[in-house]
């Protein structure tokens, strides 16, 4: 089970998400090709999402593919915390859902979008920033701590917002929760909320989204390569400084330093017994 920070955890709307309890009146306009709308039909009502394929192309494409594959059909909102968020996309009522699950994706947490009320974010495992796959969560309050780097060096990536159906989200968050034999955590609604379908409404420019996703991946790869090169140079400088210091000690003591395989060095100043 995906949980937040530390254990197996749950893995983009600059500023705040302007979502009222009735949702945005323009939701039926279906966004635009890079901000596609997806309708989540649940047994408790419908929720319309607007994904941000401009700022979070990798994550938006990932969600769209799971929706197209009908992966979400039959899954439930399996983790509900009334003053935090509602989470779905990982389990069916009987606690199973692994067929069709893909590998984790790039964590797009540095895109300027915030974990605020109405935002939809990527669930992932604590300790592994790029482990997000099918699970997602909708914040029911502002959660600024999720925008901060966790111990694993990354935050939680927002990739869209609710534009219609926040009343449904609030009904879900207020459900009574309890334990489940196959879903750990004790936050499973006793009245199951089943996702019947997730469908695209309107247009989605996948080509532009894929181009943006490719650029995002290349940017991350370049940053990682630069960081690796910087660390390599820093190591060279550290070794140079250490050797200069050792040389000075050898000159002062008249002793020869011994270097170990781990990179440490020592000098035997006086030999003895006992």
Residue 20 CA from chain centroid, whole number: 25
For residues 167-194, give the mean pLDDT: 95
pLDDT higher than 50, residue 48 = yes
Among residues 98, 224, 84, which one has the least CA distance to residue 154? 224
Residue 14: predicted pLDDT: 32
Strands 45-51 and 265-266: unpaired
Mean pLDDT score of the chain: 85
The secondary structure of 182-226 as a DSSP string is: SSTTS-EESS--BEEEEEEES---HHHHHHHHHHHHHHHHHHHHH
Contacts of 94 by beta carbon, 8 Å cutoff, 6+ apart: 182
Asked if the model's pLDDT at residue 9 lies above 60, the reply is: no
CB–CB of 176/82 below 8 Å?
Answer: no
Helix (H, G, I), strand (E, B) or coil at 47: strand
What CA–CA distance (Å, rounded) separates 89 from 19? Answer: 22
> Which tens digits make up the pLDDT trace of 73-124?
999 999 999 999 999 999 999 998 778 999 999 999 999 999 999 999 999 9
- Is residue 56 a contact partner of residue 182, using CB atoms and an 8 Å limit? no
Q: Report pLDDT for 257.
A: 80
- The 8-class DSSP code of residue 35 comes to B
93 and 76 Cβ atoms separated by less than 8 Å: yes
- Count CB-CB contacts under 10 A for residue 101: 13
| Contact present, 19 and 27 (Cβ < 8 Å) | no
Q: Is the pLDDT of residue 55 over 60?
A: yes
pLDDT at 251: 83
With contact defined as beta carbons under 8 Å apart, do 57 and 212 qualify? yes
Q: How far is it, in rounded angstroms, from Cα 10 to Cα 67?
A: 19
pLDDT at 154 over 50: yes
For 197-223, give one letter per residue: b (16+ CB within 10 A) or e.
ebeebeebbbeebeebbeebeeebeee
Residue 178 pairs in a beta bridge with: 188
Q: What is the pLDDT of residue 219?
A: 81
What SS3 class is residue 233?
Answer: helix
The reported pLDDT for the residue numbered 234 is 67
Neighbouring C-beta atoms of residue 244, cutoff 10 Å: 10
């Amino acid at each position: 089970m995906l949980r937040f920070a530390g254990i197996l955890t749950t893995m983009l709307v600059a500023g705040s998400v302007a979502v009222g309890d009735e949702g945005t009146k323009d939701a039926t306009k279906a966004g635009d090709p890079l901000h596609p709308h997806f309708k989540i039909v649940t047994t408790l009502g419908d929720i319309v999402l607007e994904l941000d394929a401009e700022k979070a192309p990798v994550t938006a494409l990932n969600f769209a593919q799971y929706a197209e594959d009908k992966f979400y059909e039959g899954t439930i909102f399996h983790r509900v915390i009334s003053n935090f968020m509602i989470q779905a996309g990982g389990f069916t009522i009987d606690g199973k859902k692994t067929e069709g699950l893909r590998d984790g994706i790039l964590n797009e947490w540095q895109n300027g979008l915030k974990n605020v009320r109405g935002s939809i974010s990527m669930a992932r495992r604590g300790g592994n920033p790029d482990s997000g796959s099918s699970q997602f969560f909708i914040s029911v309050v502002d959660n600024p701590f999720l925008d901060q780097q966790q111990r694993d060096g990354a935050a939680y990536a927002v990739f869209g917002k609710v534009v219609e159906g926040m009343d449904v989200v609030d009904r879900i968050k207020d459900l009574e929760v309890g334990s489940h034999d196959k879903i750990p955590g004790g936050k499973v609604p006793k009245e199951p909320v089943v996702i019947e379908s997730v469908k695209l409404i309107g247009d989605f420019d996948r080509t532009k989204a894929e181009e943006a996703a490719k650029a995002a991946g290349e940017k991350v790869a370049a940053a990682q390569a630069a960081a690796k090169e910087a660390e390599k140079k820093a190591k060279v400088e550290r070794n140079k400084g250490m050797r200069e210091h050792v040389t000075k000690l050898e000159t002062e003591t008249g002793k020869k330093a011994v270097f170990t395989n781990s990179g440490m060095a020592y000098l035997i100043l006086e030999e003895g017994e006992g």
